[in-house]
Amino acid sequence: MAQAATLAAPLTAPTGETAEAAHIVEKFLVASMVPDPQTAALYISPDLKITFTGGRKYGHPRETTAFNASRYKWVKKKMERTDVVPGRDETIVYNLGTLYGEWPDGTPFEGNRYVDRFLVRGGKIVQMDVWNDSAERLLTKNGIVA
């Protein structure tokens, strides 16, 4: 007879702080999709560090907005889930889903997976790491098998 699996108790119980961190990230992402980098900046620390796919480094949402404007005609996120990892004096927030929009030539796309990882301290985003399938999709779109 199979035994039921048991789950270990979390090391740190979720708190209002972790829920607030998730809320901050989601408000940041919504503003970023408009795109409205000025509103998105309300949720960031002055020393924000952003690393985009491919190792591109940025320090402000206006820089990522400019990058996205060169990569896509337009792009939006279909946010599917937000996972929160509480820590000491900080919270890690993962936002996962898919991108949809148009490439610069007007070709539509959807279902482009993404993972955004945020580090939130003191109610502000201090770090953002971004991964998505755009490069793979562009290779495929251009007939390149890698």
pLDDT band at 14 (very low <50, low <70, confident <90, very high): low
Task: Output the six-digit token pair for 109.
Answer: 């796309």
43-82: per-residue pLDDT in tens? 999 999 999 998 999 999 999 999 999 999 999 999 999 9
* Sign of torsion over alpha carbons 101, 63, 113, 36: negative
pLDDT exceeds cutoff 60 at 3? no
Cα–Cα distance between 20 and 25 in angstroms, integer? 9
pLDDT per residue as tens digits for the range 124-136:
999 999 999 998 8
pLDDT of residue 8: 46
Distance CA 125, CA 92 (A): 10
What is the crossing angle of helices 61-71 and 16-33, to 10°? 50
The whole-number pLDDT of residue 143 equals 87
Q: State whether residue 92 is helix, strand or coil.
A: strand
Q: Assign 33 a pLDDT band (cuts: 50, 70, 90).
A: very high
Q: Which residues of 125-142 are buried (b: 16+ CB within 10 A; e: fewer)?
A: bbbbebebbbeebeeeee
pLDDT at residue number 15: 66
Show the 3-state SS of 26-81: HHHHHHHHCCCHHHHHHHEEEEEEEEEHHHEEECCHHHHHHHHHHHCCEEEEEEEE
pLDDT category of residue 141 using cuts at 50, 70 and 90 = confident
Query: Average pLDDT for residues 27-31, to the nearest whole number?
Result: 97
Instruction: In whole angstroms, give the CA distance from residue 20 to residue 23.
Output: 5
Q: CB of 95 within 8 A of CB of 109?
A: no
Which whole number is the average pLDDT over 83-93? 94
Mean pLDDT over each residue of the chain, to the nearest integer: 90
